């Protein structure tokens, strides 16, 4: 549908006219136009890059029973400890 939105932008037609010509249901096209057309808010992957500003002493795992393991530098070790 993103290709249809791109084609619509250069068509010079109204959404209704474009949908009739392309045999697309207007509500479906309008949804996609709002989603990927001009003025659409860019979607986020949900991830945020984090960069430490100070040197780190490593990560810390705190278990429900209060046991803490500090200074973890290796992420594969962290993964194993979280699974415990």
pLDDT in tens, 25-39: 999 999 988 888 777
Q: Helix or strand or coil: residue 62?
A: strand
- pLDDT grade for 80, boundaries at 50, 70 and 90: confident
Distance CA 23, CA 10 (A): 17
Q: Is the per-residue pLDDT at 8 higher than 70?
A: yes
Q: Is the per-residue pLDDT at 51 higher than 90?
A: no
Kindly report the pTM of this predicted structure.
Answer: 0.47
Dihedrals φ, ψ of 32, to 5°? -70, -35
Distance CA 40, CA 32 (A): 10
CB 72 within 8 A of CB 65: no
Helix (H) or strand (E) holding 75: helix 75-83
């Amino acid at each position: 549908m993103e290709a249809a939105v791109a084609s619509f932008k250069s068509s010079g037609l109204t959404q209704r006219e474009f949908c009739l010509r392309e045999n697309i249901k207007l509500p479906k096209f309008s949804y996609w136009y709002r989603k990927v057309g001009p003025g659409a808010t860019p979607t986020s992957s949900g991830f945020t890059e984090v960069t430490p500003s100070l040197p780190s002493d490593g990560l810390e795992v705190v278990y429900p029973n209060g046991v803490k393991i500090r200074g973890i530098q290796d992420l594969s070790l962290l993964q194993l400890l979280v699974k415990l």
